[in-house]
Amino acid sequence: MGEQGRLSDTLAGRRVAVAAERKAEEAIASLQRHGAEVVQAAPLSVVPHADDAELLARTRELLAAPPQVVVATTGVGFRGWLAAADAAGLGESLREALAGATLLARGTKARGAIRQAGLTTAWVAESETAAEVGEHLRTLDLAGQRVAIQHHGSGADGLDELCAELGAEVTSLTIYRWGPPANPAALERAVREAGEGTVDAVLFTSAPGVVSWLEASRTAGTADAQRERAATGCLLLAAVGPVTAAPLQEEGFAVMVAERSRLGALLRDVVAHYA
């Protein structure tokens, strides 16, 4: 990073591991502008579903029998679904079908994607958690209703099962899924350095990424050392939001959670922490 692009020296002398699958380049560039040495260690890879025959088949099912309720869990996933439909010549029909449904959003990013598509959101989970979405779904009469749920990552958030228990006919759509890390050696190096003390901070942007990081840490035998370093403030573990932080907190790690569940807010909080 040249001096022209430098914003500050707040992170000079700090080594920061970016455990991000998406927007990693954005995070790296921002950290470098504040003087950090960045270690890239994505715990997972993102496998898109844009050409997935199953996704398109389920989309066609919804066009034949439009849903009464649609749950959008991520902005990038909802946009990806519409992009895949557009590529298959189904975009206009899908938007028409969605316009007649009650649209629920798991957070403001999902709401933004719905709005960008020219649609209206009926309800938003302000906590951005599947648990809050589930609580709201329980207040609805879903018996006999068709509910479409756009998932993120593994899709294992329990919403499909909940809606089925409430009597709904559920169509589950996973727009992108998690795959193994693209560079396992880099991940192993990073978890070792986080335990040994040569990495000062680790940034996380997804709960599945955190789970993969913890698994790699246990395999490398550095999980306990990271927990101790985080407890004493020698290692900063920073998560983009409460959903991302949860797997760390459940295992007793001290975590800094971004005030707003956005990558930009997380990066600002990290800089402020060291300032």
Nearest-10 Cα torsion for 108, 113, 118, 124: -30
Ranges 46-55, 165-174, 256-265: which has the least confidence: 46-55
Give me 83's structure tokens. 């992009």
Q: What is the pLDDT of residues 34-46, one digit of tens each?
A: 999 999 999 988 7
Query: Does residue 12 contact residue 35 with C-beta atoms inside 8 Å?
Result: yes
Q: What is the pLDDT of residues 220-247, one digit of tens each?
A: 999 999 999 999 999 999 998 887 888 9
Q: How far apart are the two ends of the chain, measured CA to CA in Å?
A: 20
In whole angstroms, give the CA distance from residue 121 to residue 229. 43
Instruction: Give phi and psi for 89, each to the nearest 5.
Output: 75, 20
Q: What is residue 181's predicted lDDT score, i.e. its pLDDT? A: 92
Q: What is residue 153's predicted lDDT score, i.e. its pLDDT? A: 64
**What are 201's strand-pairing partners?**
16, 236
Residue closest to 209 by CA, chosen among 246, 253, 258, 250? 246
Q: What is the pLDDT of residues 54-89, one digit of tens each?
A: 889 999 999 999 999 999 998 878 988 998 888 889
Q: What is residue 77's predicted lDDT score, i.e. its pLDDT? A: 85
Q: What is residue 217's predicted lDDT score, i.e. its pLDDT? A: 98
Structural domains in the chain, CATH included, are 3-44+182-274 (3.40.50.10090), 48-178 (3.40.50.10090)
Only one residue has tokens 């927990």, namely 227
Helices assigned H by DSSP within the chain:
24-33, 53-64, 75-87, 91-99, 108-116, 130-138, 159-165, 184-196, 207-220, 223-231, 242-250, 263-274
Residue closest to 70 by CA, chosen among 109, 97, 107? 97
Residue closest to 266 by CA, chosen among 229, 241, 236, 230? 241
